[in-house]
């Protein structure tokens, strides 16, 4: 593909549309962090990190991963009913989550070592999970329709509402502002998403029990082979926050959370955008019987090149940068970042192209890696009491090995698919 073809391609235009919208959406919370990190203490951010980790884990099972199938059907009617199915499952499961919290709240607080003074936040987790999982279903419809601009607008709506609430309540010295801001942001996201859905040919009248039953059976592999493994994968990604909070302190959890947030920014800014566009593109090429290996390799090479300057800057000057941007209190986060940058760099390269597994309906193969990844991360639980930096070095080593294996699996699946077309 020539340079002219690359820059005129629909693939690149769609990526740039999503990235530009996501960039604006992410600049809002980043700008707010400069304020919020001076309003809320590391202890409050540590509690919020645990809160968001629990939301991140529960959202995976809220729809049983059916939302991933919304892009795949040839008929819009089938896709519409998958949206309806996903939302119905999410409502049902989050009602169960809330009942579990009512009955076992004290045991959950003790298990997580969650700060007692913020324990009432836990009751908000099912609502936050419901709103987030519902929007994910709506967003996959927009991806199906190539409405990437609409998806970007929704992200901006969410982050704007979230930032306003968190800052306002922060100035009023209300720690609940962090969790409440997340909920209000997700609510704004859903309202904006529903408006965008109507503009993109979504018809609620097409949802009916018979078709829901059909699509639930047709795409049963998503909950059967992806929900539990993906849950394990998400736990693996968020597990370090829970372990650090339990073994060390809320302060250290807060420092780790800022480091994680800064490093995760390009993951959400670039890789998620690429992943969503790539998912639609691969699904389309598969329906046309076209090869995809070249797209996967070109994407991974480009992402690899982008990681080099980030590694150099954060490894050598991370501590100074964090102190300058967030204040002296947060220099420790910069120290952690100089270690964690390596694991986030390989995630930056591999995560977007892993979309080939659901796009090619090779869900079982992807599930094998997710289970393997969980088994390797769980090693952290059995480590003896060591310094936090030694803990981070071991964590990064595990990540590098696991994601290198993941890349190899992606390459082989894609290569085999292309060979099958010959």
Can you give the pLDDT at residue 10?
63
pLDDT digits (tens, 9 = 90+) for 161-196: 888 899 999 888 888 889 999 999 999 999 998 998
Q: How far apart are CA 339 and CA 348, in angstroms?
A: 15
Can you give the pLDDT at residue 20?
63
Can you give the pLDDT at residue 183?
95
Q: How far apart are CA 43 and CA 23, in angstroms?
A: 28
Neighbours of 268 (CB within 10 A): 15
Instruction: Name the 3-class secondary structure at 288.
Output: helix
Each residue's pLDDT tens digit in the chain (422 positions)?
444 444 446 666 666 666 666 666 666 766 777 788 888 888 888 888 889 888 988 888 899 889 988 988 889 999 999 999 999 999 999 999 999 999 998 888 888 788 888 889 999 999 999 999 999 999 999 888 887 777 778 778 888 888 889 999 988 888 888 999 999 999 999 999 899 888 888 888 899 999 999 999 999 988 887 777 778 877 787 788 888 888 887 788 889 988 988 888 766 667 777 887 788 788 888 888 889 999 899 889 988 998 999 899 999 999 999 988 888 888 999 999 999 999 999 999 998 899 898 888 788 888 889 889 989 998 988 888 899 999 999 999 999 999 999 999 999 999 999 999 87
CA distances for 262 relative to 25, 40, 165, 220, angstroms: 14, 17, 21, 36
Can you give the pLDDT at residue 312?
94
Q: How far apart are CA 247 and CA 334, in angstroms?
A: 21
276 closest CA partner among 5, 72, 14: 14
Q: Which residues of 126-157 are buried (b: 16+ CB within 10 A; e: fewer)?
A: bbbbbbbbbbbbbbbbbbbbbbbebbbbbbbb
397 closest CA partner among 344, 346, 343: 343
- Count Cα neighbours of 225 within 13 Å in the Cβ-side half-sphere: 15
Gyration radius of the chain's alpha carbons: 21
Element (H, E) at 405: helix 388-420
Q: How far apart are CA 157 and CA 270, in angstroms?
A: 19
Sequence-distant (6+) residues with CB within 8 A of 335 are: 318, 319, 389
Report the Cα 330 to chain-centroid distance in Å: 24
């Amino acid at each position: 593909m020539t340079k002219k073809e690359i820059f005129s391609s629909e693939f690149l235009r769609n990526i740039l549309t999503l990235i530009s919208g996501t960039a604006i959406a992410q600049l809002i919370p980043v700008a707010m962090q400069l304020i919020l990190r001076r309003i809320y203490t590391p202890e409050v951010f540590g509690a919020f990190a645990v809160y968001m980790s629990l939301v991140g884990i529960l959202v995976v099972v809220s729809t049983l991963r059916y939302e991933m199938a919304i892009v795949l059907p040839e008929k819009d009617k089938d896709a519409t009913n998958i949206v309806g199915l996903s939302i119905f499952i999410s409502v049902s499961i989050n009602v169960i989550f809330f009942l579990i919290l009512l009955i076992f709240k004290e045991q959950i607080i003790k298990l997580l070592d969650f700060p007692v003074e913020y324990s009432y936040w836990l009751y908000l987790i099912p609502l936050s999970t419901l709103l987030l999982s519902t929007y994910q279903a709506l967003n996959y419809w927009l991806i199906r329709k190539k409405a990437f601009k609409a998806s970007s607008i929704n992200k901006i709506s969410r982050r704007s509402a979230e930032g306003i609430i968190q800052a306002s309540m922060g100035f009023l010295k209300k720690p609940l502002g962090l969790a409440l801001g997340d909920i209000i942001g997700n609510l704004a996201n859903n309202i904006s998403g529903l408006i965008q859905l109507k503009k993109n040919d979504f018809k609620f009248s097409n949802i009916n029990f018979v078709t829901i039953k059909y699509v639930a059976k047709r795409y049963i592999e998503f909950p059967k082979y992806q929900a539990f493994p993906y849950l394990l994968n998400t736990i693996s990604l968020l597990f370090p926050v829970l372990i650090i909070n339990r073994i060390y302190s809320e302060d250290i959890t807060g420092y780790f959370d800022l480091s994680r947030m800064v490093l995760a920014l390009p993951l959400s800014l670039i890789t998620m955008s690429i992943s969503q566009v790539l998912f639609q593109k691969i699904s389309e090429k598969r329906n046309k019987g076209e090869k995809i290996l070249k797209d996967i390799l070109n994407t991974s090479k480009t992402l690899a090149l982008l990681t080099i300057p980030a590694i150099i800057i954060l490894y050598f000057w991370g501590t100074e940068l964090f102190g300058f941007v967030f204040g002296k209190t947060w220099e420790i986060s910069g120290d952690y970042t100089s270690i964690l940058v390596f694991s986030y760099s390989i995630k930056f390269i591999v995560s977007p192209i892993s979309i080939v597994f659901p796009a090619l309906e090779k869900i079982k193969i992807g599930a094998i890696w997710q289970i393997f990844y969980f088994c390797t991360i769980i090693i952290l639980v059995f480590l003896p009491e060591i310094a936090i930096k030694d803990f981070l070095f071991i964590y990064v080593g595990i990540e590098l090995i696991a994601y290198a294996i993941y890349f190899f699996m992606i390459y082989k699946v894609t290569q085999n698919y292309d060979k099958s077309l010959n």
